[in-house]
Amino acid sequence: MTGKKSVNTVKKNNNNSLPLIIGRSEHNVSRKNFSPNAIKVLYRLKDGGYDAYLVGGCIRDVLLGVEPKDFDVVTNATPEQVKRLFRNCRLIGRRFRLAHIVFGREIIEVATMRGHHEGNESKNPISQSSTEGQLLRDNVYGTIDEDAERRDFSINALYYSINDFSIHDYANGMDAIKNRRIELIGHPETRYREDPVRMLRAIRFATKLDMQIAPETEAPIYELADLLANIPAARLFEEVLKLFLNGKAEANFLALRQYGLFKELFPALDLIFEQSTTGEELKFIRQMFINTDLRINADKKVTPAFVFAALLWYPLVQRAEQLMQENRLDEYEAYTQAGNEVVAINSQQIAVPKRFTLGAREIWQIQLRLPKRGGQRAYRLAQQPRFRAAYDFLLLRAQVTPEPLQELATWWTEYQKKENVGQKQMVKELPNDKPATRRRKPRRRYPNKKPSQSSDS
């Protein structure tokens, strides 16, 4: 993969290790592997008098024979200087300021080289840490050596230079790729405390790239899992999507449970897993992720609404049953109120956007309506925008608990295959197919008024 070590190695900063500079003839990474827009950004920065490199995942993926999808650029230009070079630039981020260069639907992310917090007061840093060591704001700029040390994993500390097309390896990333090993740069516990999301990223990279987490990188995760409670709920939503919508959802789910991270993301569901006597709930979620992986790997769409409808289904059922028993609510009212509560509680950990929680609620509500097929109800239900997702949800439930759901799932499968006449016949053959009639309120009777007595009598 890498060939011989280049003679162009230079001494690294203060830890006496050598960064490896691998010449163009000694690696298989070409400009053709990258987005033309990313190359444009590199040359514009270079022509503007700045250093610029492609960094991280795109280099790693090409070396592994995987087609890269995201192209990140690092430069010694500040975000404001980048913005002056590109009219199609917008600055984002508070924790660390970034520049997004927009080319239609493609965004090239440009970051200024990060520096160390200690001893950087002269560089006008804007940084802030919590009492637990988490970096809350991180706008500290530095050199490429410092930036490499600030990277999370060694496989992501690889830099592609547009000047001579060489790869700069600052943390033995080439070795880690060769040995298929996920390892943090620096002291693992300190790095996890700086950003607890790195625990999730370690799992995601390990499953995505078919690698093993190095023992020293793995060890602190069990004890530090609860630090995820300090991460903003909106950021955790984005991380959960990366874990569960990348074609490796089942493997990520099992790893999250293994390391004690799943209970920090979905505590109510994890408690149900622990208390279950049948294992039905765990089987249901695992099957949902298996189905999700199959769809994604077949280039089919999966909506987050479906995934969250499944993840919150058993907490919803549990709460609805409590409400029916304690408050004597009917089924529809109980599920509606339980849905409000479950979504609100979940938002404390993961802030799911309203467009997805609304979709999840519709999937849940249709589950209550699927058994009621008499009259025009089956036809009207099949016209609902969320019907197909709700039908798939029913099939998932029937996979786990065949009785009595399998018969209902089979009926709806056959119903969708029929023409209009056949659908009407299926409805007629249902027992008690007449829809329940709504009882009219009895008319209120008023007593007859007595004739007023004449004052002359």
At residue 9, the pLDDT reads: 36
Phi/psi at 43 (5° precision): -70, -35
pLDDT class for 100, splitting at 50, 70, 90? Answer: very high
How far apart (Å, rounded) are the C-alpha atoms in residues 252 and 255? 5
At residue 11, the pLDDT reads: 34
Percentage of residues in the chain having pLDDT higher than 90: 78
User: Is the pLDDT at 2 greater than 90, yes or no?
Assistant: no
User: Is the pLDDT at 18 greater than 80, yes or no?
Assistant: no
Catalytic site positions: 70, 72, 152
pLDDT digits (tens, 9 = 90+) for 128-152: 455 555 544 556 888 999 999 889 9
Which segment of 178-187, 384-393, 441-450 scores lowest on mean pLDDT? 441-450
As its CATH architecture, domain 249-428 has: Orthogonal Bundle (1.10)
Q: What is the mean pLDDT of the chain?
A: 88
Single-letter residue type at 23? G
Classified as helix, coil or strand, 141 is strand
Region of 441 on the Ramachandran plot (φ > 0 left; ψ -120 to 50 alpha; else beta): beta
In a 13 Å sphere around the CA of 325, the CA atoms on its Cβ side amount to 6
* Domain boundary assignment for the chain: 20-179, 249-428
pLDDT average, residue stretch 15-30: 80
User: Is the pLDDT at 172 greater than 60, yes or no?
Assistant: yes
The angle at the Cα of 300, spanning 298 to 306, to the nearest 5 degrees, equals 125
Span 20-179: which CATH code?
3.30.460.10
